[in-house]
Structure 1
């Protein structure tokens, strides 16, 4: 049972999110209601709180005919059944799902969201998101991993890549056509850092570059120096460069093939202070023979540090390559090792 005052406050404001947590008895009418009941509120002295419908009925109360609190149990059973159906067949549409459990679609959408916190479609996407990491680790290929995670096709994985990796394909296809990109250069312990961002997230983080490099990459975008968008991001980005062990959760707006995205996700799973070889990354994404392709995907990373491509080295232990010079790569690795060892 929740705190009585909290329950009474929820009843007073007709809080739908509290339906199913308790019921409210009205001694003057002999009924009990859901917290969200639309009926006029009784005087406080005529209100009793009960853990559930069974407790209210044991106290001699009958269910309200307006809010029908006795149907809550059936609602919850229907949502539980729907979750089971979605687990077996994630592609079920709302109409078919609602029909299977005996509800109208618009009504069941509200019930499902009340119980689960997400719509059925959002719940399915969340489940795919949770599975894709393990699938990429265990499957024999990227394509196999995509199907194992519940995607109907590689194109669906790519379309939802923003939800899977925090990366949304956008400006990259047409040189930034129709996109506003704000940028700034800031000092870090690794040298001048260029940060550029769309409204969706950071699309470029690099060292020792200026706006001309950005203009060459996004010739059709509108480039604007500074602004509130960049100011919200640049402090955390500088902190990440100065202390890559304390990686902030920053929004990214980058695009790549399914294979590139799989590689980038593998990079983000390398623990701070550790390294992996290009061969290990290729094997991790299910393509052990694609060592060169893994190296190319590593080099295609447009957001240094935030996707930690500096943690990938050659099998013989040498640093390999780095777009911004091996000195910066070594300093990043040294910073992380000192942090984890100290």
Structure 2
């Protein structure tokens, strides 16, 4: 790994010259995968290719270098070690394993958990069930090329770096308490930076949201952004703050704009507790969909408007949403806390 390159904090949007994404695709599960990532690279602005030696050596100035490996069956440890020398040329990597059965996947899970702790820069992509097999999904592979590199799909427009005048104590307390709640209950699978915490501004329009790649368990309050608005026609997101708002700000904006009673949203990736727990299969609101796009927000709004309660929903293969309709930040926190604790009891 290259520790000198890990300090990038997403305080400005990356460009094609800043980011390299490479693919090693031994399985060829999806013949169209390489073309789909190439299309994403042109749309969202990163360099992409499969000729790793040439690409890495031709430009050492990439701020981020991400590797995606689609290989291996039932043995994540051996697969990871097979590529360890290659991974050293990148700032991050994703291992997309396949499994021959659910039993094989379950048996390998303890090994994956151990390796996640030993190799923090490696993401072990969770597979999706296809018939009797568990394989990485096409959408997750394409999205991984984006979310582990440039991250955002919207066009950012920074209005101001300073939000202190509107970032009042009650709002700061909300973020601090929700962060502690996420940490206490380990509401993440891959990394504590996944998901987002958000609060509609109680003193005006817009909403506050954690910035992309921000820890949700030990929150740094300087990494909260204020989103003024999102314009779907231009894909422009106007914000204030020192860092880029969450890559999921688009979905959050759609929910806030179309559900005026929603005051707060917490998005977690608690795969074991909720997303992949059969106990909550009735809470699946949407099938696997691309993150950071208004289509996902619209689908979530349609689901919530069809429900008697809008406290919780699962995005299949992507995580959970916990919502509040309480107008005051401290009451919004309490409502989200009650919902999470109640459902955690059911999960056990």
Structure having the larger proportion of residues in strand: 2
- TM-score, shorter chain, exceeding 0.5: no
Give the TM-score normalised by structure 2: 0.27
Larger-gyration structure (1/2) = 1
**Does 1 or 2 have the higher relative contact order (CA < 8 Å, sep 6+)?**
2
Structure having the larger proportion of residues in helix: 1
Give the TM-score normalised by structure 1: 0.27
